[in-house]
Amino acid sequence: MKKKMKFLLPIVLIIILVMSLFSARSITRIRNYGKLINYVGIVRGATQRVIKLETNDKQDDELIAYVDGIMEELLTGEGQYGLKRTSYADFNNELELLNENWSQIKKEIYDVRQGADKERLLKQSEELFDVANDTVFSIQEYSGQRSTVLVRQMVITGVFCLIVSIFAIGYYVRKYFRLREKTAELADQAGRDELTGAYAIERFYAEGQEIIDKNQEAKLAVVYIDFENFKYINDVFGYEYGDRVLKEYARTLTDSLKENELLSRSMADQFLVLRCYEDKQDLLNMQMKIDRDFMKREVLPDKHVMAIACGICCIEDTIEKLDIRGFVNRANYAQKTIKNAPGSNYAFYNESIREQMFREIHIADRMGSALAAGEFIVYFQPKVSPYTGEIEAAEALVRWKTSEGKMIMPGEFIPVFEKEHLIGRLDQYVFEEVCRFMQDRYREGARVVPVSVNVSKIRFYTADFVKNYAAIKERYQIPDGMLEIEFTETVACESQDYMLEIIKELHDNGFQCSMDDFGTGYSSLGMLKDLEIDVLKLDALFFRGNPDSKKEQLIVKGILGIIKELDIKSVAEGIETKKQLEFLKECGCDLIQGYYYYKPMPGEEFRKLLIGRQDVSLASGNEGGNR
């Protein structure tokens, strides 16, 4: 259409121009006809006057010459009066006749002047009068015809211009609206997630807030949905498959949206839905049905079923006055409670979640001052050889003893610190405390065993991690091989290349590296051959099931066998019973860390334990007494 318009527009303009030129020419001609009528009239009048003078024996040759001049110009179209000849034959014939008459009259005048009778002159004058009248009528008639043609021409031009204008206006109006539509479409796309077409988070916030403000009486809820272990789907089945799952799920949710409801993909595998509802149970049932149907359709290629964790915050359940971000935040909290306490996959935000949320906020707020006040205490849990019963190493585990004397376990505050990105500081503090403890032992000439410290994922990814830790190790003069860095297998899986580099750097600086909680993520034995780790810690989960289960025993035996082949030291965590111990001994496990031997204990008790004071093992200061 745009191309056609480019071509059509000049043609239309040329047509209008030509039509206008024709009309202008016609107007000029019609003006000329009027002039011709006037001058024929002058000829008629002047002739009558000449004859009247002649009959009264008066002569006016000037007037005769004047009539001659007009006649000449009427016939030739050339002269001083600006008269143009026409192509109208009748008029031209009449003019010829008029001229003949005039010539006749001039002849008669001559005769009369020579003494002839004036009668003939008068007769001739009447004839000329009639012929002049006929000439005028003829040009009048022609002029009338031309005027009609001109009017038609002008009407046609006008109508044509009108049609063209309507068409052009229509075209440009349509173009304008299309442009507006396109602009709106582009603006709409800008506010959407490219993969799923769902709203981007900022748009969700903006439009969601508007809906909430406009529908104060309505029951509205924010649903926060997160796929569990989506990384596993991406890693195992590929990003393309992962993208398909997200797209399909977004489509399913979009299809379920009603008036005043919105969908957003807030992050990688997280969705937000603003829902209207009448009854909370119906709202929950609907979400569950959507997820169930989706899961039925989208079974993973390895027949694994995908899991979704979904937190719902009904606005009516919030106490404080919040905006949409606040409701999303509460739904997120509700969703997190599912992840931390598996069982159901759906949770409504409620009073107890609110309390937990404020507890977490309180914990995060107090971290700085607690660190400064030395409220974080390092406990040590020995790692024991099951063959000799000797303490061969230990793990440093942090505790928070508040100023009110309350002991908070890491399970409660570490996830909060991780979420708030405060954990790096705490990890380094613990590490430094361990170094200080070891330096003191060296100084007093006591027995010192290697100690491992936990390093959170966030600390691991900070650029100066190894440099800082190495500087602290150096400052406290801890020999190589005496400090071990524990990281979880999830960290190791996430970016193997980065891990390879970090492990090498740690080794270069005299640290040992160990993979903690092996078996809790999606463990890969293949990964072990690439990562140069020194120690592998089998998670307590391996030993929590049925101790007589042949399958479990086979798995543990297999893993320990492979580890030995790879020259990696094995540590079994969470060992509580003699049966577990005997089995691990049978499998060749190197070290045991668990309540069977010792619970985590304060540094002082650990010191006494190492120097062999028997009263330590029965001390009540540690977490519940040891064997």
Q: Please choose which of ligand C2E, Mg ion, none residue 427 contacts, taking the beta carbon within 5 to 8 angstroms, the exact cut-off set by kind.
A: ligand C2E
The residue length of the chain stands at 627
Do 330 and 293 meet the contact criterion of CB atoms below 8 Å apart?
no
The single-letter DSSP state of residue 618 is: G
Q: Which residue has the tokens 């590296």?
A: 513
Stretch that binds ligand C2E, among 140-148, 253-261, 302-310, 574-582 (CB under 6 A): 574-582
Closest CA to 486 of 473, 468, 503, 505: 503
Cβ closer to ligand C2E: 346 or 542?
542
Decide if residue 484 touches Mg ion (CB under 5 A): no
Decide if residue 523 touches Mg ion (CB under 5 A): no
Cα distance between residue 600 and residue 593, in whole Å = 10
Spatial neighbors of 488 by CB under 8 A, at least 6 apart, are: 457, 515, 516, 517, 520, 521
The phi and psi torsions of 266 (rounded to 5 degrees) equal -80, -35
Q: Please choose which of Mg ion, ligand C2E, none residue 485 contacts, taking the beta carbon within 5 to 8 angstroms, the exact cut-off set by kind.
A: none
- Positions 438 through 477 that interact with Mg ion (CB under 5 A): 454
Looking at 365-480, which runs of residues are DSSP E strands? 376-384, 391-401, 407-408, 451-454
Decide if residue 574 touches ligand C2E (CB under 6 A): yes
What pairs with residue 279 in β-bridges? none
Decide if residue 626 touches ligand C2E (CB under 6 A): no
Cβ closer to Mg ion: 291 or 573?
573
Decide if residue 517 touches ligand C2E (CB under 6 A): yes
Sort strands 346-348 and 307-314 into parallel, antiparallel or unpaired. parallel
Cβ closer to Mg ion: 454 or 523?
454
Cβ closer to ligand C2E: 331 or 434?
434
Cα distance between residue 502 and residue 509, in whole Å = 11
Candidate list 40, 331, 414, 584; residue touching ligand C2E; CB under 6 A: 414
CB of 523 to Mg ion, least distance (A): 13
Decide if residue 427 touches Mg ion (CB under 5 A): no
Sort strands 569-573 and 535-538 into parallel, antiparallel or unpaired. parallel
The single-letter DSSP state of residue 198 is: P
Do 539 and 515 meet the contact criterion of CB atoms below 8 Å apart?
no
Candidate list 131, 422, 430, 559; residue touching ligand C2E; CB under 6 A: 430
Side-chain-side CA neighbours of residue 112 (13 Å): 24
Q: Please choose which of Mg ion, ligand C2E, none residue 576 contacts, taking the beta carbon within 5 to 8 angstroms, the exact cut-off set by kind.
A: ligand C2E
Cα distance between residue 132 and residue 102, in whole Å = 10
Stretch that binds ligand C2E, among 172-180, 236-244, 297-305, 594-602 (CB under 6 A): 594-602
Cβ closer to ligand C2E: 291 or 516?
516
Candidate list 291, 427, 489, 534; residue touching ligand C2E; CB under 6 A: 427
Cα distance between residue 279 and residue 285, in whole Å = 10
Cβ closer to ligand C2E: 262 or 396?
396
- Positions 150 through 209 that interact with ligand C2E (CB under 6 A): none
Cβ closer to ligand C2E: 88 or 379?
379
Decide if residue 535 touches ligand C2E (CB under 6 A): no
Stretch that binds ligand C2E, among 149-157, 306-314, 316-324, 423-431 (CB under 6 A): 423-431
Q: Which residue has the tokens 């993969």?
A: 195
CB of 178 to ligand C2E, least distance (A): 58
Candidate list 264, 456, 622, 626; residue touching ligand C2E; CB under 6 A: 456
Q: What is the DSSP string of 341-372?
A: S-S-SEEE--HHHHHHHHHHHHHHHHHHHHHH
The phi and psi torsions of 445 (rounded to 5 degrees) equal 70, 20
Cβ closer to ligand C2E: 106 or 436?
436
Closest CA to 333 of 316, 364, 306, 309: 309
- Positions 573 through 592 that interact with Mg ion (CB under 5 A): 573
What is the phi-psi region of residue 568: left when phi exceeds 0, alpha when psi lies from -120 to 50, beta otherwise?
beta
Stretch that binds ligand C2E, among 63-71, 292-300, 577-585, 588-596 (CB under 6 A): 588-596
Decide if residue 516 touches Mg ion (CB under 5 A): yes
What pairs with residue 192 in β-bridges? 199
Decide if residue 411 touches ligand C2E (CB under 6 A): yes
Amino acid at 426: L
CB of 598 to ligand C2E, least distance (A): 8
Q: Please choose which of Mg ion, ligand C2E, none residue 398 contacts, taking the beta carbon within 5 to 8 angstroms, the exact cut-off set by kind.
A: ligand C2E
Spatial neighbors of 309 by CB under 8 A, at least 6 apart, are: 225, 226, 227, 228, 335, 338, 339, 345
The single-letter DSSP state of residue 118 is: S
Q: Please choose which of ligand C2E, Mg ion, none residue 410 contacts, taking the beta carbon within 5 to 8 angstroms, the exact cut-off set by kind.
A: ligand C2E
Decide if residue 573 touches ligand C2E (CB under 6 A): yes
Cβ closer to Mg ion: 270 or 454?
454
Stretch that binds Mg ion, among 115-123, 230-238, 483-491, 523-531 (CB under 5 A): 483-491
Do 40 and 139 meet the contact criterion of CB atoms below 8 Å apart?
yes
CA 315 vs CA 9, 209, 264, 335: distances in Å: 59, 12, 18, 15
CB of 380 to ligand C2E, least distance (A): 10
Decide if residue 486 touches Mg ion (CB under 5 A): yes
CA 24 vs CA 31, 88, 315, 450: distances in Å: 11, 19, 76, 109
Decide if residue 521 touches ligand C2E (CB under 6 A): no
Decide if residue 576 touches ligand C2E (CB under 6 A): yes
Stretch that binds Mg ion, among 399-407, 509-517, 546-554, 594-602 (CB under 5 A): 509-517
Cβ closer to ligand C2E: 249 or 597?
597
- Positions 347 through 406 that interact with ligand C2E (CB under 6 A): 381, 397-398
CA dihedral 345, 349, 352, 358 (to 10 degrees): 120
Q: Please choose which of ligand C2E, Mg ion, none residue 532 contacts, taking the beta carbon within 5 to 8 angstroms, the exact cut-off set by kind.
A: none
Candidate list 427, 517, 534, 605; residue touching Mg ion; CB under 5 A: 517
The phi and psi torsions of 14 (rounded to 5 degrees) equal -65, -45
CB of 516 to Mg ion, least distance (A): 4
The phi and psi torsions of 199 (rounded to 5 degrees) equal -65, 145
Q: Which residues bind Mg ion (CB under 5 A)?
A: 454, 486, 516-517, 573
Q: Which residues bind ligand C2E (CB under 6 A)?
A: 381, 397-398, 409-411, 414, 423, 427, 430, 454, 456, 486, 516-517, 573-576, 593-595, 600
